[in-house]
Amino acid sequence: MEQLFELRSPEDTTRFAETLAPLLNAGDIILLEGPIGAGKTHFARSLIQALLPEPEDIPSPTFTIVQVYDGPDCEIWHSDLYRLGHPDEAIELGLDEAFEAAICLIEWPDRLGDLLPASALSMTLETSGDDTRTARLTWSDPAWTPKIEGVAL
Amino acid sequence: MSDLTILGIESSCDDTGAAIVRGTAGNARVLSNIVMGQAELHAAFGGVVPEIAARAHAEKVDLAVKQALSEAMVSLSEVDAIAVTAGPGLIGGVLSGVMCAKGIAAALGKPLVGVNHLAGHALTPRLTDGLTYPYMMLLVSGGHCQFLIVRGPDEFIRVGGTIDDAPGEAFDKVARLLALPQPGGPSVEARARDGDPKRFRFPRPLLDREGCDMSYSGLKTAVLRARDEVMTDNTLTAQDQADLCAGFQEAVTAVLAEKTRRALRVYMELNPSQPMIAVAGGVAANQAIRAALTTVAEEAGAGFTAPPLKLCTDNGAMIAYAGLERFALGETDDMTLQARPRWPLDKKSAPMIGSGKKGAKA
pLDDT digits (tens, 9 = 90+) for B265-307: 999 999 999 999 999 888 888 999 999 999 999 999 999 999 9
* Domain boundaries of chain B, sorted by first residue: 4-131+310-329, 135-305
**What phi and psi, each to the nearest 5 degrees, are found at residue B93?**
-65, -45
Closest approach of B306 to chain A, Cα-based (Å) = 22
pLDDT digits (tens, 9 = 90+) for A71-87: 999 999 999 998 887 88
Residue in A37, A58, A85 nearest the CB of B220: A37
Alpha-carbon span B173 to A108, nearest angstrom: 14
ipTM for the predicted complex: 0.70
What is chain A's mean pLDDT, rounded?
90
Closest residue by Cα to residue B225 from A24, A78, A132: A132
Class level of CATH domain B4-131+310-329 = alpha beta
Burial grade of B144 (CB within 10 A; 0-12, 13-18, 19 or more): buried
pLDDT digits (tens, 9 = 90+) for B8-23: 999 987 788 999 999 9
Instruction: Please count the structural domains in chain A.
Output: 1
Closest residue by Cα to residue B269 from B176, B126, B354, B149: B149
Q: Say yes or no: A50 contacts chain B, CB-CB below 8 A.
A: yes
Q: What per-residue confidence (pLDDT) applies to A62?
A: 83
Cβ distance of A55 and B357 shorter than 8 Å? yes
Do the domains at B4-131+310-329 and B135-305 have one common CATH topology? yes
Least confident of A47-51, B88-92, B273-277: B88-92
Cβ distance of A93 and B92 shorter than 8 Å? yes
What is chain B's mean pLDDT, rounded?
88
Chain Cα centroid distance, residue A18: 12
Asked whether B94 and B12 are in contact (CB, 8 A), the reply is: yes
Whether the pTM exceeds 0.90: the reply is no
Would you place residue B59 in the very low, low, confident or very high pLDDT band (cuts 50, 70, 90)? confident
B187 carries a ligand binding annotation: no
Q: Say yes or no: B225 contacts chain A, CB-CB below 8 A.
A: yes
B117 carries a ligand binding annotation: yes
Angle CA B205–B143–A120, to nearest 5: 95
Residue B43 has pLDDT above 70, yes or no: no
Would you place residue B186 in the very low, low, confident or very high pLDDT band (cuts 50, 70, 90)? very high
Cβ distance of B356 and A36 shorter than 8 Å? no
Q: Say yes or no: A129 contacts chain B, CB-CB below 8 A.
A: no
The CATH code of the domain that includes A91 is: 3.40.50.300
Alpha-carbon span B248 to B195, nearest angstrom: 10
A&B contacts, CB < 8 Å: 114
What type of residue sits at position A18? E
Mean pLDDT confidence for B187-215 = 91
Would you place residue B353 in the very low, low, confident or very high pLDDT band (cuts 50, 70, 90)? low
Asked whether A76 and A103 are in contact (CB, 8 A), the reply is: yes
In chain A, residues with a C-beta closer than 8 Å to the C-beta of B352 are 57
Closest residue by Cα to residue B150 from B26, B286, B258: B26
Q: Domain of A14?
A: 2-150
Q: Which residues partner with A76 through β-bridges?
A: A69, A103
Full strand arrangement of the beta sheet holding A29-33:
A2-7, A133-138, A121-127, A29-33, A103-107, A75-80, A66-70
Asked whether A134 and A7 are in contact (CB, 8 A), the reply is: yes
More confident residue, B72 or B37: B72
Cβ distance of B351 and A14 shorter than 8 Å? no
Asked whether B114 and B97 are in contact (CB, 8 A), the reply is: no
Mean pLDDT confidence for B169-177 = 92
Alpha-carbon span B315 to B62, nearest angstrom: 15
Closest approach of A15 to chain B, Cα-based (Å) = 9
Domain B135-305 has CATH 3.40.50.720: no
Would you place residue B361 in the very low, low, confident or very high pLDDT band (cuts 50, 70, 90)? very low
Closest residue by Cα to residue B200 from B164, B169, B235, B236: B236
Q: What per-residue confidence (pLDDT) applies to B54?
A: 67
Q: What per-residue confidence (pLDDT) applies to B98?
A: 95
Closest approach of A147 to chain B, Cα-based (Å) = 21
Cβ distance of B224 and A58 shorter than 8 Å? no
pLDDT digits (tens, 9 = 90+) for A110-147: 999 888 999 999 999 998 767 789 999 999 999 999 99
Q: What per-residue confidence (pLDDT) applies to B51?
A: 47
Q: Which residues partner with B160 through β-bridges?
A: B147
Would you place residue A60 in the very low, low, confident or very high pLDDT band (cuts 50, 70, 90)? confident
Q: Which residue of A has its CA nearest to B42?
A: A83
Mean pLDDT confidence for B245-258 = 95
Would you place residue B350 in the very low, low, confident or very high pLDDT band (cuts 50, 70, 90)? low
Residue B359 has pLDDT above 90, yes or no: no
Q: What per-residue confidence (pLDDT) applies to B349?
A: 67
Least confident of B25-29, B89-93, B94-98, B152-156: B89-93
Asked whether B264 and B277 are in contact (CB, 8 A), the reply is: yes
Q: What percent of chain B has pLDDT over 70?
A: 90
Cβ distance of B358 and A18 shorter than 8 Å? yes
What type of residue sits at position B287? Q
